Structure 1
Amino acid sequence: MPELREDEELPPEDESQTRRYIAHEAQTQGGRFSLTNIFVALIGIGLLVGLLIVGGVLDFGDNGVDIPVTISDTPTPDETATLLAQTAPAQAVTDAPPAATLDPNAVTPTLLPGVAVAVASDFVTATLLPDVNALQTNTPRPTVTPSATNTPSPTDTPSDTPTPSPTYTPSDTPTPTRTPTPTLPPGGLQGEQDFLARFREQPPGVLPWDAEQFDLGADDAFWRLGVGAETEGDVITIMPSVELMDMLFGEDAANRIIRVEATMTLATFNPDLLEQDEVFFGIYMVDADDLSNKAGLHIAVPQPGVINTNLRIDDELSFISQRAVNGIIVAVRLERNLTNGRIEVFINGARVGQAIGFTDQPDDPILPVLFVKDGGVIVNVTEWTVTLR
């Protein structure tokens, strides 16, 4: 299309065409103006809301986050027209005044068909971010109260562990407790004296007999006389010597004996010995100067529950009596007559037989003797005493 310069005049035949162009241009500008006004109105609403927020009318709460708002200059109608003129394609114009001048302020914007009207609900409501500092509240950490520290109890320092003394296993025959021998008075002990008690006081090796033949019993209630096993011997005799008598009871103790007593119980025996008349025991006195001179009592057991009582004179037996008994327990007493020196025998308090001639002088030394069959017969001695003048 040929360009139209401003200083050129339109030919008359183009006048009507020019008017149509102007009218069309006006309509076009009116449509563009209406869209522009809508855009301007939206911007104005945004500015108004911003001013209200700044002025404190609308308070969304200060959460510590600023919403950036960009405020642009509101274009004026002249600026809009200028913008349109600059962007519109160059057209041929005439100097004739326009048919009508549009006042932008008096024009009511008319929406084009199909253009939706924007309402307040269509606008996106700005969601304010929460205050980060508010969320990150410094909650103080709980102060940990230290629990009571358990003070360890003091460790016991172990004391020195005593070294145990060796434990001795008791044998079948326990060692008796020894009591120190009392100091003997001048002239020696007098009256009744306990042989068995004085025997307990003696250290090992002092008593002149074998402990297997005569020793303290297991319960310390008696002394065991005899051995259970068979032997080749005939008789076991327990006789304190003259020297032992002096040591136990004082000087010339053997010369001062006037009485001897013993209680003897048959504990056990070998039945085979009954047929041989070899179950026996007893007590007698012997002349210290002549050991063949004897006087006393001999008890024999011909059968169970039966005893024979015999007087023993030297190595001869004089039968006195036989009797049945439930238990063979014999309490024997031998007394020395100080006038003639004879020996009288008593069983359980009763005199047995006649007095036995013994020594010529009543003050001759004599010794008491217990005896039992050697091997197979055991007797328990619960009493053995001597009376001294």
Structure 2
Amino acid sequence: MAAIEDCQNHKNTLCTHALSFALLWTRLRGIKPLPKAEPIYQESLEWDDDGKEIDLKRPGKKTFSLENANYDGRFDEEGEDEDEVDERDSYKLSPEALAQVEALRQQDESSHEEVKKAESTALVKTERSMEVYGQEDDKLFADSEESLDFELMPMDLTDFGQFQTLNIKRAEVRFHEMTFEKGLKPSRTTLNSMLGVYTNALRLRSAEVFMDETFSQFELRPNKFTYRSMMQMYVRAKRTTQAEQLLERVRSEIESGDVEADEVTFGLLVDNYARKRLLRRALTTLEDADALGLQLQEKHLKKIRALTEKYGVFTDLIPENPNAVLLASSRYKLMEKRKVRAQVLEYNRKIGKRFLLPKTVY
């Protein structure tokens, strides 16, 4: 009985599918057929970059070759040549006009030579007047702000060394006029400004002589801005030995109370050490600055922070990067880094040191 019921159910299912297919076929017979697809048509002519027609159906020729241009001779080349000749003839000048043009050209050349000669002569006079202070010294300031034409006369930087020397001589003339001619006693700010003229130009010997002799000549002592200017000069000139000697002098004067400690002076040397990958010297100098109660500027800590992170060194002398949240690839890595930093700093405090360096680090 169960087998008979299964057969009947199977027959009913087949009948249902057959009726559904018949109904679908009836509906599809009433739909209109799709329209016949139109063939793709390609324009036989195209144009190149010059606006000339190119026949794409022409066999054996590249569509971008020069041979395709005017292959059927439709363009009148002879006519074009004649038009070009006519144009050239129309632009020809008369003999009188040519003579005037030649005269103007010769006049321009002669005036240009005179200007060059005058400039060279003025330059020689200026260079001679730079040697001594006399009546010709006014020419040193001929193109300065005193002439009121400085905005219309851009600086000539073709020979920057000569331009820099001229500016130094200008400052020396003003300083000589102030101190010796008018008998005025310069202030420490004036001496630091004059010293900055030499340090900005990297005139090491002139700056050293000026600091050692001129300050004492006017019974003034260098202050922190004086040593800051000197340190910046040595760092820019890559004179690490002289910079270290200057810092030793600053330390001795700080201990004696003659000079106020300056975070920029220490920061410049720390940054110089970091750029030279002298990590141990940089951290030692940073520790000395911290002992004096100095907090270095962020611009002087960027290189040393990157160097310590490269070697996996953590110290409380270098604060966390203020942009650490923005620079972190993920919050998880930032939290892990902070966790490791806290553990290392706690260990450093236990052993009584500010930092620990591998033996391979100098």
TM-score surpassing 0.5? no
Range class of TM-score, shorter chain: under 0.3
Q: Which has the higher strand share?
A: 1
Task: Give the structure with the larger helix fraction.
Answer: 2
Larger Rg: 1
Taking CA–CA contacts closer than 8 Å with sequence separation of 6 or more, which of the two structures ends up with the larger relative contact order? 1
Q: Under a length normalisation based on structure 1, what TM-score does the superposition of the two structures give? A: 0.22
